[in-house]
């Protein structure tokens, strides 16, 4: 129950930051994906089941506010939440650099899935064009932003475990 | 065949996501309906965030300039933006195509629309779509399909309207299609955003059209959605293939979509 409440609060904060802070900046370039970073961290710490459910909740919320179709982002984040949580159970690795590698891989996976759906539902004319123009900047931004977040979370988790 | 519970769980949720995708693709008004409820909260936060940013900028500016000078500056900037828009998009079009006709026929053209100022309160938080959110909505008189412009030219059109916000699809988005005309030659085509690199392309421009790099592209007015004569951009690349019916033409928009300021809605 406590974890669910913490998760709901975290989703709300991240969502507002993405909509207001990142959405409040005008730029020609790609923008970081805070909800994806939160999902990776959550799934990594809590396993495949919570990761999958978190992916569903975050994805649905994002679809309602930022995407033209329901399910577009939900599909991608459900799969990513599951895979990250499952990877954590199979690869016991506490190194934050490894987590960044996971972050990079899921950014690419998210890009592939979204570009594919956009192409299939005629919301984009070129799967490859969309993928190439968006993935590399997103990969860089997400990994750069995730690094301090993961470090801070790790420090907080270690401090909490002492008590 | 026995399916592992984990896989079954995953497949169930993926299937549910796919059902949502299919249903909302078939009934496109579902997502905007849900979004309208949420924008009551998010819109307030976005407006508040813009208010905070503006106040901070004003506070810093007040150190060097007086209150009176700033107000005068805003009024003059808005007026200049209106005049620049008219000069670039409307007057030049009138001079190039209607002047002789007016003299011959004693034709007096009145400006068919008025410009309503508006402001952007939020930009696309994700990279897959080129949209912005305006701080005015249905209660302030905004309607769906209203055209948005600035001093540089065509910005986009309103695609969703909520009580106090409105979403604008930028002309650089792939879903944006605008009826245009090459001003020098009169050839008509459809301008479609390419999504990336901020450029657009002209579709269905016949191969025999003699367009050149540097030619101005304006809205054609065909279809009735976009008023005629609004500057859209300039041709940056022309590729002709004798084996194809249409030529490939790229257009650099006249509007800097990375810096959207002083926007106006066209009210007919």
Q: Which residues have CB under 8 Å from B198's CB, separation 6+?
A: A28, B172, B252, B253, B257, B258
User: Which pair of tokens denotes residue B128?
Assistant: 């897959």
Superfamily of domain B51-173+258-267: Rod shape-determining protein MreC, domain 1 (2.40.10.340)
> pLDDT above 70 covers what percent of chain B?
82
Under 8 Å CB pairs connecting chains A and B tally to 139
Q: Which of B21, B121, B260 is opposite residue A70, by nearest beta carbon?
A: B21
The span from the CA of B14 to the CA of A56, in Å, is 9
pLDDT digits (tens, 9 = 90+) for B50-78: 677 677 667 766 766 677 777 788 888 88
The domain limits of chain A are 2-22+33-158
pLDDT at A12: 85
Mean pLDDT confidence for B191-198: 80
| pLDDT score at B109 | 46
The pLDDT value given to residue A29? 63
Q: How many CA atoms lie within 13 A of A142 on its CB side?
A: 29
* Min distance A18 CA to chain B CA atoms (Å): 6
Report which DSSP code applies to B2. P
Return residues 202-231 of B near A (CB < 8 Å): none
B177-253 matches B51-173+258-267 in CATH topology: yes
In chain A, what residues touch B16 (CB-CB under 8 Å)? 56
B236's enclosing H/E stretch is: strand B231-239
Extents of the domains making up chain B:
5-50, 51-173+258-267, 177-253
Report, as an integer, the average pLDDT of B107-120: 68
Fold of the domain built from segment(s) B177-253: Thrombin, subunit H (2.40.10)
Range of lowest pLDDT (A23-37, B9-23, B118-132, B239-253): A23-37
Q: What is the mean pLDDT of residues A26-50?
A: 85
- Residue B146 has a CB neighbour count (10 Å cut-off) of 22
Residue B41: exposure state from Cβ atoms within 10 A (0-12, 13-18, ≥19): exposed
Q: What is the pLDDT of residues A103-125, one digit of tens each?
A: 999 999 998 898 888 888 877 76
In this complex, do A19 and B46 lie within 8 Å of one another by their Cβ atoms? yes
Q: Higher pLDDT residue, B36 or A58?
A: A58
**Do the Cβ atoms of A65 and B120 come within 8 Å?**
no
Set of chain B residues whose Cβ sits within 8 Å of the Cβ of A145: none
Which pLDDT score, from 0 to 100, does residue A8 have? 87
pLDDT band at B1 (very low <50, low <70, confident <90, very high): low
Sorting pLDDT into bands at 50, 70 and 90, what band is B108? very low
Specify the pLDDT at position B102: 54
Chain A CB contacts of B17 under 8 Å are 56, 59, 71, 74-75, 78
The answer to whether the CB of B125 falls within 8 A of the CB of A23 is yes
Task: Please list the helix, strand and coil fractions of chain A in percent, rounded to the nearest 5, in that order.
Answer: 80, 0, 20
Residues B168-191: what's their mean pLDDT? 93
HEC letters along B30-79: HHHHHHHHHHHHHHHHHHHHHHHHHHHHHHHHHCCCCHHHHHHHHHHHHH
Measured between beta carbons, the chain B residues lying within 8 angstroms of A135 are none
Alpha-carbon Rg for chain B, nearest whole angstrom, is 22
Name the helix (H) or strand (E) containing A158.
helix A127-162
pLDDT(A151) > 70: yes
Residue B253 has pLDDT above 90, yes or no: yes
Mean pLDDT of A58-63: 91
In this predicted structure, the answer to whether residue B127 has a pLDDT above a threshold of 60 is yes
| Cα separation, A79 vs B113, whole angstroms | 50
B199: contact with A, CB 8 A cutoff? no
Q: Kindly determine whether residue A71 and residue B22, on different chains, have CB atoms separated by under 8 Å.
A: yes
ipTM for this model:
0.86
């Amino acid at each position: 129950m406590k974890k669910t409440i913490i998760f709901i609060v975290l989703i709300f904060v991240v969502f507002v930051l993405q909509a207001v802070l990142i959405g409040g900046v005008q730029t020609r370039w790609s923008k970081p994906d805070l909800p994806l970073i939160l999902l990776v961290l959550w799934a990594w710490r809590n396993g495949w089941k919570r990761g999958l459910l978190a992916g569903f909740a975050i994805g649905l919320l994002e679809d309602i506010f930022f995407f033209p179709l329901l399910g577009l982002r939900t599909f991608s984040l459900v799969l990513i939440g599951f895979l990250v949580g499952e990877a954590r159970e199979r690869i016991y690795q506490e190194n934050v650099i490894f987590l960044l590698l996971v972050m990079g891989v899921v950014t690419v996976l998210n890009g592939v899935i979204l570009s594919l759906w956009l192409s299939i539902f005629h919301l984009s004319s070129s799967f490859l064009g969309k993928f190439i123009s968006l993935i590399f900047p997103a990969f860089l931004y997400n990994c750069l932003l995730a690094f301090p977040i993961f470090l801070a979370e790790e420090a907080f988790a270690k401090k909490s475990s002492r008590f | 065949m026995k399916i592992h519970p984990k896989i079954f769980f995953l497949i169930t949720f993926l299937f549910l996501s796919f059902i949502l995708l299919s249903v909302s693709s078939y009934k496109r008004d579902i997502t905007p309906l849900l979004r309208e409820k949420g924008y009551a909260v998010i819109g307030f936060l976005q407006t508040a965030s813009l208010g905070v940013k503006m106040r901070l900028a004003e506070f810093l500016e007040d150190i060097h300039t007086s209150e009176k000078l700033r107000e005068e500056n805003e009024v003059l900037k808005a007026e200049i933006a209106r005049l620049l828009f008219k000069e670039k998009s409307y007057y030049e079009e009138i001079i190039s195509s209607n002047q002789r006709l007016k003299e011959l026929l004693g034709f007096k053209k009145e400006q068919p629309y008025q410009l309503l100022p508006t402001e952007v309160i939020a930009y696309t938080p994700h990279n897959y779509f080129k949209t912005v959110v305006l701080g005015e909505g249905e209660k302030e008189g905004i309607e769906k399909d209203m055209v948005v412009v600035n001093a540089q030219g065509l910005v986009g059109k309103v695609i969703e309207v909520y009580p106090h916000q409105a979403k604008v699809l930028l002309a650089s988005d792939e879903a944006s299609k605008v009826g245009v005309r090459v001003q020098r030659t009169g050839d008509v085509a459809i301008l479609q955003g390419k999504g990336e690199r901020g450029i657009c392309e002209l579709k269905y421009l016949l191969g025999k059209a003699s367009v050149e790099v540097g030619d101005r592209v304006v809205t054609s007015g065909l279809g009735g959605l976009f008023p005629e004569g609004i500057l859209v951009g300039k041709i940056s690349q022309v590729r002709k293939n004798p084996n194809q019916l249409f030529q490939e033409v790229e257009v650099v928009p006249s509007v800097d979509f990375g810096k959207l300021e002083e926007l106006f809605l066209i009210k007919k």
